[in-house]
């Protein structure tokens, strides 16, 4: 099973690291708030996808309102960050 490192800050930000236990090296980030669908899905306003040098998805950032964008199970497993 792939390991996902979830961290949650006191100010409501969260990070889902998809590259194992170490923080991933990010080359490019893409915010989803510009998508047309963001109007219908408020969580998209705060989600940013992080990609590595090879263009692989290595992380997902929730810039605010993590409790609204993520499932309770992910939040319960989160480490302070």
Give the pLDDT confidence of 43-79 residue by residue, as tens digits.
Answer: 888 999 999 999 999 999 999 889 888 999 988 988 8
Q: In what order do the strands lie in the sheet with 47-51?
A: 28-31, 47-51, 57-62, 14-17, 5-8, 79-80
- The mean per-residue pLDDT over the stretch 21-28 comes to 81
pLDDT interval class at 29 (50, 70, 90): very high
The DSSP secondary-structure symbol of 23 reads P
The whole-model pTM stands at 0.84
Give the per-residue pLDDT at 23: 72
């Amino acid at each position: 099973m792939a390991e996902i490192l979830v961290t949650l800050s006191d100010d409501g930000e969260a990070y889902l690291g998809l590259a194992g236990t170490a923080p991933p090296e990010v080359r490019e980030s893409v915010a989803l708030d510009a998508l047309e669908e963001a109007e219908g899905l408020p969580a998209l306003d705060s989600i940013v996808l992080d990609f590595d040098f090879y263009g692989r998805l290595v992380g997902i950032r929730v810039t605010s309102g993590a409790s609204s964008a993520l499932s309770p199970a992910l939040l319960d497993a989160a480490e302070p960050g």
